[in-house]
A and B are shown apart, each in its own frame.
Chain A
């Protein structure tokens, strides 16, 4: 490689883009992993909420589980992984109401997968640096 200021700048830009792309892909994978955990938490027989007194998995027809989704958005230099649910009543199930305790299936999934999320992102960053 010619070590001119221009070639060095090009190489740095290329490597920056490479790291960015790898982390973006890793973020998609991490968000999908959390989405999967959220689906598990909406599944009878596998939901942690069933072990709590007088509680059930947030499941009747499977609609809530089917509306779990994840994606990645770019906000300037930030790479943001998003996990959510588009069912109209999802927020009531998640946050609870005056008649029903909450079952925060997304927040719990994020918390419970925190270490795996960090590992996926670290692996993506390391791959981009090679």
Chain B
């Protein structure tokens, strides 16, 4: 499921006109920045874990703990990087992906001195149901 969500998130971010304008194109990619090295750019990763719920033997229901992470790298100002992060948040929190619910996010800010890069890390939490 998380792979489907990552794919859908990348498609949603690429389709966002405001984000494309800030990035100078549809620079949204799966995986870590080191693979593509497009800056400015957004890099989407994610993982999930699940555990069976009480009564699983009959209901086959699992609880899930998925996370989706978007790393924004920008060689411009803190404001520019922050605006990209805001656009990412608006795109994913404003229109939750099909089959998911309860989206929230936290953003952290870093500055890489050696490469003069702004780094914004946005972690999304949400839920979805799985019945085996």
Contacts and interface: CB of A to CB of B under 8 A. Distances in A.
Interface residues of A, number: 12
Contacts of B71: 96
A92 interface: yes
A99 interface: yes
A95 B65 contact: no
B119 A98 contact: yes
A30 B110 CA distance: 28
Contact of A99 (B34, B39, B65, B121): B34
Contacts of B39: 98
A92 B111 CA distance: 10
Contacts of A98: 33-34, 39, 73, 112, 115, 117, 119
A95 B32 CA distance: 12
B112 A95 contact: no
Contact of B108 (A95, A100, A111): A95
Contacts of A92: 110
Contacts, number: 28
B121 A96 contact: yes
A61 interface: no
Interface string B99-132: 0000000001010100101010101000000000
Contacts of A96: 32, 71, 119, 121
B34 A95 contact: no
Nearest to B69: A102
Interface in A65-121: 91-92, 95-102, 107, 111
Interface of B: 32-34, 39, 45, 65, 71, 73, 108, 110, 112, 115, 117, 119, 121, 123
Closest 5 CB pairs of A and B: A101-B32, A98-B33, A95-B121, A98-B117, A98-B73
